[in-house]
Structure 1
Amino acid sequence: MPSLQEVVDRLHAWYPPETAEEWDAVGLVWGEPQAQVSKVMFAVDPTLEVAEEAAAWGADLLVVHHPLFLKPVHGFAASTPKGRTLSTLVGAGCALLAAHTNADQAVDGVSEAMALALGLSELRPLVPAPAPAVDSLVVYVPGPDAERLRQVLSEAGAGALGDYDQCSYSTPGEGRFRPLAGSDPAIGEHGRLEVVAEERIEVVLPRRLRQQVVQAMLAAHPYEEPAFQVLELADARQAGTGTGRVGTVGPTTLAEFARTVGERLPATVQGVRVAGDPERPVRTVAVVGGAGDFLLDRVAGMDVDVYVTSDLRHHPASEFVEKGGPALVDVAHWAAEWTWLPVVERRVRETWGDTVETRVSTARTDAWTFAVPQEPHSEGA
C-alpha cells in the first residue's frame, strides 16, 4: 500500500506541475504525505456532492481536474461552499489533489483521453509544446577523477536523454596551468607550469537543474578552480505533448460523427451542438478538452474537417463558421473532461494493483440541470 507522497509523486511524474499555466493552482491541496492510501476516487469537480461521495466511500485521496481554490485563501470556513467541501474531506481524512492544465496537454491527459474516446487515431498535438529548456555542461578533470565526476553529474540530474541516463561524452587532452601565490593547488607547485592529462566531459541537463548540477560538480571536482562552461542549447525538438490533439476517423459525415460524439461522451442537458453541413465529409478532427475557443483562429487555418471542444461563444463561433473553415462540434465542458477519469484511474490501478481500490465518481457535476424544449415558431407569429 503506497503512501500519499508516493501517489502524489507518481501523479506529478505523469502530469508535471511545472507544465501548468502560471495562473493555475495544481498539486496537493490537503493531506498528510506519510498517510497510507488504499482508496483513490477521481472526479472532474471538487463539489460538496463529490466530497460527500468520497467520504462515504472511505476514500483516502480524491483526485480532481478542476482546482478547489484558484485564488489564495486565508481559511476554509464551512460557512462557504468551498469551505464545506474541504471540511468534509478533512473530516473524513481524505486528501485532495488537483491536476488541471498540467493534465490537459500531457500524454494520457485530458485532450488525448477525449480524442481516443471519440475514436480518433494517429494522434498528434494540435499546438505542440516546446521541449524543456536544456543546457550543456563542459568540464575538464584529471583522468583518474573522470569516472567519479561523471557519476556525480548523473546523480545531480545531468546526462538524461529520453529513456537513457548516465549519458556523457569524453575526450582526452592536456590541461595547462601555473599556480600563483595564494592558490592551494591539488596538483602542482607555485610558480611552475603544470601539464596534466585531463578529460573533457560533456553532459546535457535540464536548465531548471543548472545550479544544482554545477554546485555538485564544483563540490566533487579535485581542482580548486575547475575550468567549465555552461551553454544554453537552442530549442530544436518538441516535447511530444501539447495543447489539444488532431487525429483521423472514418471516413464519415459530420452528422454521423456528431452522433458518435453524443454516444461516447456522458449525457448532459446540453447534448452536442453542431455548426456545419450534416453531409460534410469528415476525416481529420481536432479536439480540445475543456474550453477551446481561444484556439479558433489557429484551427481556422488548419487542414481539419471538424473542431470538437466546449464553451464556444456566439460571436467567435459565428465568425469562425463564416470563414468557411472546419465544422464545429460543441460539447459540455464536464462531459469532455470526464473522459480523462477512467484513463488516470487505469494508470493508478496498473501501478499499485490490488493494494489500491479506485473509483470514478458517479456524480454528474455539469452546471446545467435541465432544458426546456422549444417548438419552432410559425412564420409571421
Structure 2
Amino acid sequence: MPALADLVTLIHEWYPPATAEDWDAVGLVYGDPEQSVKKVMFAVDPTPAVAAEAAEWKADLLVVHHPLFLKPVHGFAATTPKGRTLATLAGAGCALLTAHTNADQAAGGVSEALALALGLTDLEPLVPATGEPVDKLTVFVPSDAAAPVRAALAEAGAGRIGDYDFASFSTQGEGRFRPLEGASPMIGTVGEIETVAEVRIEVILPRHLRRDVVAAMLDAHPYEEPAYDVVELADPGRVTTGTGRVGTYPAASLAAFAEAVAAALPETQHGVRVAGDPERTVKKVAVCGGAGDFLLDRVAASDVDVYVTSDLRHHPAAEFLEKGGPALVDVAHWAAEWTWLPAVAARVGEAFGHDVDTRVSTLCTDPWTLRI
C-alpha cells in the first residue's frame, strides 16, 4: 500500500498548491504522511455527515474540494460542525486533503470535468493561465558522456513537456579547443589544439529550476570547463490550464441544452435556471465550476452562446443580459463541482491500481433542501 505522502505528492503534482489563490487554504489538513493508505474517499464538502461516511467506510484519506478551515484556528473541539468533522476523521484515523482553487484551473480539474460532463469538446481555458517562464539549455558533451549528462538533466527537472519527460534533442558535431597553462584537461594536451567528437544536447526547463539543472549538468559533465548556454524563451508554449473552459457542443436550442445539463448533473433542489431565449441556438459554451459571476465581463466579450456556472446574482445577471450577451445557465454549486470527483478518483485508481480503493461520495451537501 502507498503511504499518505505518496498520494499527497501525486495530487499536488496534478493540482499544484502554488497555483491556489492567496486567500485559499489547500493541501494536507490532517494526517501522518507515513501512514499507509488503502481507501480514499472523495467529496465536495468536508461536512460532519461526509466525515461520518468516510469513517464508516474506514477510509484512510478523504479528499475534498472545499477547505475545512479557511481561517486560522487554535483548536478543533467537537462543539462546532467543523470541529466535529475533524474530530470524526481523527478518531477514525482518516487523513484530510483539500484541493480547491488549485483544482479549479488545472488540466483535469473542476471546470474541465464540468465541461466534459456536459459533452463539450475542443476545450480551451476561458482565461488562460500565465505560462511558467521557461529556458532552453544547450550543452556540448563528448559523445561517450552524452547519456549520463542527459539523465542528470532529466532528473534535475529539465526535459518535461506536458505529459512527457526526459525530452531532449541531440546533434552530432566536432568540438575544438586548446588547453592553456594551468588546465587539467580530461582530453587533449596543454598547448595543443584538440578535436573531439561531441554531441550538442538541448533541453527545455522551468526557469525556477535553472540553478539546479545547471548544477546537475556541471556535476555530470566530464569536462573541466564545459561549453553551454542558457536562453530565456519568450513563449512558454501552449497553455492548457486557466480559469473556466470553453468548448463546442452539437447544435441545439437553449432549452434542449439546459435539459441536457440537468440530466448530466446530480439532482438538487436548486435545479437548473436559464436566462435567455429558449429557442436560441447553442454551439459554443463557456463553463466555470463554482461561483462564476466574476467572469461575466470576460464571457460578454467572447463569442460563446451560453455560459454555465453557479451562484449568479440578480443584478449582475440582469445587466449582463441587457447588454445582449450570451444566455446564462445557473446550476447548483455543489452539483457543478461534484463532476470533478469521479475524474480525480479515476486518476488515483489508474495511478495505484489495486493497491488503493476509491469511493465518490454521493451524499448531497448542497445547502438547499426544499423547493416550493
CA offset at residue 357 of structure 1?
2.7
Q: Secondary structure at the match of 2:367?
A: coil
CA offset at residue 61 of structure 1?
0.7
Q: Structure 1 residues 60 and 289 mapped into 2: Cα distance closer, same or farther (>3 Å)?
A: same
CA offset at residue 42 of structure 1?
0.8
| Residue equivalent to 2:7 | 7
| Residue equivalent to 1:379 | none
| Residue equivalent to 1:376 | none
Q: Structure 1 residues 249 and 31 mapped into 2: Cα distance closer, same or farther (>3 Å)?
A: same
Return the letter of the residue paired with 1:122: D
Q: Structure 1 residues 180 and 313 mapped into 2: Cα distance closer, same or farther (>3 Å)?
A: farther
Distance in 1 of aligned mates of 2:248 and 2:362: 31
Return the letter of the residue paired with 2:4: L
Distance in 1 of aligned mates of 2:76 and 2:195: 64
Match status 1:332 vs 2:332: yes
CA offset at residue 19 of structure 1?
3.3
After superposition, what is the alpha-carbon deviation per residue over 1:180-204, rounded to whole angstroms, capped at 9, x for unaligned? 56x66656777x4654535443222
Q: Secondary structure at the match of 1:240?
A: coil
CA offset at residue 247 of structure 1?
2.3
Match status 1:173 vs 2:174: yes
Gaps of 5+ in 1: 374-381
Q: Secondary structure at the match of 1:76?
A: coil
| Residue equivalent to 2:287 | 287
Gaps of 5+ in 2: none
Return the letter of the residue paired with 1:167: S
CA offset at residue 289 of structure 1?
0.7
CA offset at residue 333 of structure 1?
0.9
Distance in 2 of aligned mates of 1:109 and 1:189: 58
Q: Is the 8 A contact 1:291 1:333 kept in 2?
A: yes
Q: Structure 1 residues 119 and 168 mapped into 2: Cα distance closer, same or farther (>3 Å)?
A: closer
Matches within 5 A, 1:173-322: 173-176=174-177, 179=180, 192=191, 195=194, 197=196, 198-235=198-235, 237-322=237-322
Return the letter of the residue paired with 1:260: A
Matches within 5 A, 1:68-87: 68-87=68-87
Q: Structure 1 residues 347 and 278 mapped into 2: Cα distance closer, same or farther (>3 Å)?
A: same
CA offset at residue 260 of structure 1?
2.5
Q: Secondary structure at the match of 1:302?
A: coil
Runs (4+) of structure 1 exceeding 6 A deviation are none
Q: State the TM-score, normalized to the length of structure 2.
A: 0.89
Q: Secondary structure at the match of 2:45?
A: coil
Moved more, 262-271 or 299-308: 262-271
| Residue equivalent to 1:126 | 126
Distance in 1 of aligned mates of 2:14 and 2:45: 20
CA offset at residue 68 of structure 1?
1.8
After superposition, what is the alpha-carbon deviation per residue over 1:233-265, rounded to whole angstroms, capped at 9, x for unaligned? 112522323322222334222222223222332
Distance in 1 of aligned mates of 2:165 and 2:36: 32
Fraction of identical pairs, as percent: 65
| Residue equivalent to 2:94 | 94
CA offset at residue 166 of structure 1?
4.5
Return the letter of the residue paired with 1:319: E
Moved more, 152-161 or 345-354: 345-354
CA offset at residue 73 of structure 1?
3.8
Q: What is the aligned residue count? A: 370
Distance in 2 of aligned mates of 1:263 and 1:144: 61
Q: State the TM-score, normalized to the length of structure 1.
A: 0.87
Q: Structure 1 residues 48 and 235 mapped into 2: Cα distance closer, same or farther (>3 Å)?
A: same
Q: Is the 8 A contact 1:158 1:203 kept in 2?
A: yes
Q: Structure 1 residues 77 and 214 mapped into 2: Cα distance closer, same or farther (>3 Å)?
A: farther
